[in-house]
Amino acid sequence: MKQLGLLCAGIYLLISAACVGPEEYHDGLLENLPAVNNTNEIFTLNLKANKYTFSETYDLKLVYIDSVDVLTLALNITGYSGNDTAVIELIDQSNDSSIPIKIFSNGIDNISFYAATIAPTAVNFYGDNFSGNIDFSLLKSTDSHGPFYGIDQNFPVTIQGNSNFSYILDAHEFTFDHTYSSSIDTTDTNSVLYTSLFISSYIREGGAGLIEIFAANDSLIRQFPIADDVVLFYEDSIRYFRPADIRISGNNLTAAVEFIMSR
């Protein structure tokens, strides 16, 4: 198979490995048992791995209407052991092409592309003695506005836990002002907090937004203007960076926004 180098995704950041104990649930997952959701619109795979060796192929049920279908690939890795790698590979049998995604660190990755370039029909998923948490999704839509499909326009989706905060919005001329309390555990001052912001399909005609992060004493510790298409990454020591509240607002905003903090 020829490799589509332009579309190959990699993990961006490294942090120290977390200790892995006996079998337990983590965000609803049983250790070494992949949870898969495979429909006409979305494919997701979530795994909590502990020295796990695997080789699986999933035939995708995604239905491609025509070449205007936009695909968004999102990958979040936490708890990486630092010793082994795993690979997720998207296969397009009709075009004899593939996108290999090598997992060799913690981090967050996003990439969007048209089905005319590659329309995956299968996912290969393999690793050797791998330890870490994998959250992988592939979403599809004919909507030409932005990459975050499978959610309603102007309806923010948030996912929170003691190790992450995620916010996804497909905004269309949207005016809003929301504040969320962070549930991320910041008691371990030796750990690291990763922040990523991905904005696409921004339209400038009068619209703008703002993401503000506040400490427990209500002091502003970071802000991100939503005023252009950007991809931003930050790595902060929890010793000095302890988010308590996240305020996300916009005025007549049209853009696709994904904001993630992950410990």
**Per-residue model confidence (pLDDT) at position 114:** 67
Here the tokens at position 199 are: 């904005």
- Return the domain boundaries, the chain: 2-141, 157-262
User: Is residue 242 scored above 90 in pLDDT?
Assistant: yes
**Per-residue model confidence (pLDDT) at position 151:** 64
102 with 87: CB under 8 angstroms?
A: yes
The Cα 136–Cα 145 span in angstroms is 22
**Per-residue model confidence (pLDDT) at position 177:** 95
User: Is residue 213 scored above 90 in pLDDT?
Assistant: yes
Q: What is the average pLDDT score of the chain? A: 79
**Per-residue model confidence (pLDDT) at position 228:** 85
pLDDT in tens, 128-173: 999 999 999 888 765 444 444 456 788 888 877 787 788 888 888 9
Q: Given 3-state DSSP classes, what are the helix, strand and coil percentages for the chain, each rounded to the nearest 5?
A: 0, 55, 40
User: Is residue 197 scored above 70 in pLDDT?
Assistant: yes
User: Is residue 94 scored above 80 in pLDDT?
Assistant: no
Torsion of the alpha carbons at 26, 221, 246 and 163, rounded to the nearest 10: 0
pTM reported for the whole predicted model: 0.52
User: Is residue 126 scored above 70 in pLDDT?
Assistant: yes
Q: In CATH terms, are 2-141 and 157-262 the same topology?
A: yes
**Span 2-141 CATH architecture:** Sandwich (2.60)
**Span 157-262 CATH architecture:** Sandwich (2.60)
Q: Identify which has the larger pLDDT, 211 or 189.
A: 211
